């Protein structure tokens, strides 16, 4: 059985987190495989923000506040940085195993 994994960030933003597939190995033990989404969380958030600002037709600012951009980038990296380490490659998990 395959399940889609999603993370709701706001009412308007739903991130694709990949899939979870439950199968049985040759010894009939339950195996779970997590496959990451084709786009990283960061790419999905940037696409959402680009689309949202285009729809709102916000006039461009004349000066970029690099301090705010730096804080926002660091916040995104910290918030979803563990994604790279935990969902980058498909992994096998057996039911009943610790760790």
pLDDT of 68 over the 60 cut: yes
pLDDT of 97 over the 80 cut: no
What does the domain layout of the chain look like in residue ranges?
2-94
Query: Does an H or E element contain 79, and which?
Result: helix 66-80
The rounded Cα 99 to chain-centroid distance in angstroms is 22
**Which pLDDT does position 87 carry in this prediction?**
55
Tokens of 23: 């199968």
**Which pLDDT does position 1 carry in this prediction?**
87
Q: What is the DSSP string of 24-76?
A: E-TTS-EEEEEE--SS-HHHHHHHHHHHHHHHHTPPPPSS--HHHHHHHHHHH
pLDDT tens digits, residue range 80-92?
Answer: 665 555 555 555 5
pLDDT tens digits, residue range 17-39?
Answer: 999 999 998 999 999 999 999 99
Q: What are phi and psi of 62, to 5 degrees?
A: -80, -25
């Amino acid at each position: 059985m395959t399940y889609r994994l999603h993370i709701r960030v706001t009412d308007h933003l739903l991130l694709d987190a990949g899939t979870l597939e439950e199968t049985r190995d040759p010894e009939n033990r339950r195996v779970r495989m997590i496959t990451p989404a084709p786009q990283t969380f960061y790419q999905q958030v940037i696409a959402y923000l680009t689309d949202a600002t285009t729809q709102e037709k916000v006039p461009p600012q004349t000066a970029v506040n690099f301090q705010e951009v730096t804080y926002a980038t660091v916040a995104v990296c910290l918030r979803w940085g563990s994604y790279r380490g935990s969902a980058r490659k498909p992994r096998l998990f057996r039911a009943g195993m610790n760790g």
